[in-house]
Amino acid sequence: MSKIMKFASLLSPLFRLKNYLERAISQPIRRHFAPKPSDSIYELGKWNNEANVQTKYGLVRGFSDKGTWCWKGIPYGTPPVGELRWKAPLDPIPWLGTRKTMKFGNSAAQVMPIMGPTGSEDCLYLNIWRPKSSETELPVYLYIHGGGNSIGSSDTSTYYGNAVAEKSNLLYISVNYRLGAMGWFKHPAVTGSGSPEDQSGNYGTLDLVKSLEWVRDNIRAFGGNPNNVTIAGESGGAFNVLSLLVSPSAKGLFHRAVVESGLTSVCSIEEAKTQSERLLVALLISDRKVANEKEAVKHISEMQYNEINTYLCSKSAFTITKNIPTVVLGMAQWRSIIADGTVIPTEGYSVFSSREWANKVPVIIGCTKDEMKLFGHFIKDLPLSSRVWDYHSMLWRANGVNKPASEMTAKNNVPVYVYRFDWGSPDDKGVSVLPKNKGQELGAHHGAELPFFLGTRGSDFAILIGKTHTKDNQIGREKLKDLCMSYLANFARTGNPNNIDLPNWPAWDNTEGKGKVLVLDADFNDLRLSYSSEKITVQDVLDLVNSELKEPERGQVMTMLEEFIPFRE
């Protein structure tokens, strides 16, 4: 009898899957494999300090990665392909047996400089690292990769998570999500029906929400605490962290936020529709269905919505991406994060200055001192002031740090901790810890803080700009890395980066003249921390340009800055 019972218990999951599939037959195809977590055919497992973990969608097998356990390429949503393109993401498809999670999942479909088309629309995967221990209720640190929301992936050494997991005793997650026009797209012919989320156009944002829902429903099986989740990101990833702070769709799914070099930029519904229409025009010209833009506009006016929808959905993600202009580093000239009124408030980030924004959680926010010098490094033929990138970097700080910090704390009792990362920038005597002339050319450039915050050996930018981490600057560099990781680990645990063993990091205070920004820096051998009372605005930067430059250079620089100023809204 015991053998029969044992055999029956082995068959039980199969019968439950069979019943589930039979029920699904009568449902719309989009919902076939999208059970709610509570309806899962699997029970959530418990953390046993081993590679096999039972999620609500099936068993996964990870592997030993140095001092950590690691699981790569876990699906957190159904592949958004076919009729699921430009739709809100669905829960993952359950699987039978053991899923080997030892390789990264696909990155999002994108077209990279030199490399060309890479990735896939089937990209909703996340990766997990945690310490090898029996400890449960670990704080969760979910990192969103950068790339201007049009390029990038979590599967690079820049975002590798073993150092954070091991050194900081956190559960670290990196995640892929839809990018560019596949992630943010709004056209009435394509997105004019379905749920409010389907119509929002914010599919990349909703992917990140879905990943957080997966964490909420599954992370206890890995020994994580779903009630202590920190989201973090740099550049495009930081844009997304800011968007999740104001998104009602993400309410309650995270409890702290780290914003590294973000910008408070949103796209209006009309702007989103306009850029989608421009893309349609470019595709028709590329297909030689029309000869020029004027003919394309006329042709579109004669097309029915179903024709437009069929045409756009027939194009591969790579064809679509290739027909979007690019800017520096191959990023697409495509606005993301749409103020649709459902996923993102119609007021955009102005809700920070009210008492009514969705996720009032402790925040760390900051940027590097010389943000824009990285981009200027690849633009060699501009006959402009050598200070143009300084002005650009100051604008970034005004828009992406000071403005949101001031607004978040104006009417709300929300702790906000602000930093400026200066490592690599020349000091008052013109001396930089970077080799050769890289201090003057690059300084504390965009992305320079990543290895310090995540404990990695370097960033992907080294391929483009050369080696900046050397033996000469190693001692001071390692001290700064340890300090940054300690601050972030404390913040992930408690919502406050401070403890008695660390230099005090004051919370932002809107009082004029009060030290409110922690300046993170080190020389060749020692930490070099300081505090700044700077509260720079966009107007301050423009006034500085007018006072320091003369025509015609002033006009040239102002024209260039005007292209950046819309990001302040």
DSSP 60-85: EE-EEETTEEEEEEEE-S----GGGT
Instruction: Give the tokens for residue 92.
Output: 């993952």
Task: Identify the residue whose tokens are 């301050």.
Answer: 540
CATH for 33-361, options being 3.30.43.10, 3.40.50.1220, 3.40.50.1820, 1.10.1520.10 = 3.40.50.1820
In this structure, of 62-66, 178-182, 382-386, 459-463, the range with the lowest mean pLDDT score is: 382-386
**pLDDT band at 382, cuts 50/70/90?**
low
In this structure, of 94-98, 149-153, 380-384, the range with the lowest mean pLDDT score is: 380-384
What SS3 state is found at 366? strand
Note the pLDDT tens digit of each residue in 270-297.
999 999 999 999 999 999 999 999 999 9
Task: Identify the residue whose tokens are 């992907």.
Answer: 460
Q: What pLDDT is recorded for position 327? A: 82
Instruction: Provide the whole-model pTM.
Output: 0.92
> What secondary structure letter does DSSP report for 115?
T
Task: Identify the residue whose tokens are 């690059």.
Answer: 442
User: Is residue 8's pLDDT more than 50?
Assistant: no
Please state, in angstroms and rounded to a whole number, the distance separating the CA atoms of residues 112 and 246.
30
Please state, in angstroms and rounded to a whole number, the distance separating the CA atoms of residues 505 and 328.
35
Mean pLDDT of 182-206: 97
Mean pLDDT of 349-360: 91
Domain with CATH 3.40.50.1820 in the chain: 33-361
Closest Cα partner for 212 from 198, 197, 230?
A: 230
Largest CA distance in the chain: 94
β-strand 125-131 against 68-75: which pairing, if any?
Answer: antiparallel
What SS3 state is found at 461? coil
Containing 440, the helix (H) or strand (E) segment is helix 438-441
Q: What pLDDT is recorded for position 260? A: 98
**pLDDT band at 39, cuts 50/70/90?**
low
Mean pLDDT of 92-121: 94
**pLDDT band at 42, cuts 50/70/90?**
confident
As a whole number, the mean pLDDT across the chain is 90
Position with higher pLDDT, 35 vs 301: 301
Fill in the amino acid letter for 78. Answer: T
Q: Phi/psi of residue 141, each to 5°? A: -125, 105
In this structure, of 6-15, 54-63, 217-226, 542-551, the range with the lowest mean pLDDT score is: 6-15
Q: What pLDDT is recorded for position 494? A: 97
How far, in Å, are 163, 332, 365, 399, 544 from residue 564 at the CA level?
A: 35, 15, 20, 10, 16
By the 8 A CB rule, do 214 and 163 touch? no
Position with higher pLDDT, 244 vs 467: 244
In this structure, of 24-33, 237-246, 449-458, 514-523, the range with the lowest mean pLDDT score is: 24-33
User: Is residue 143's pLDDT more than 60?
Assistant: yes
DSSP lists the bridge partners of residue 110 as: 118
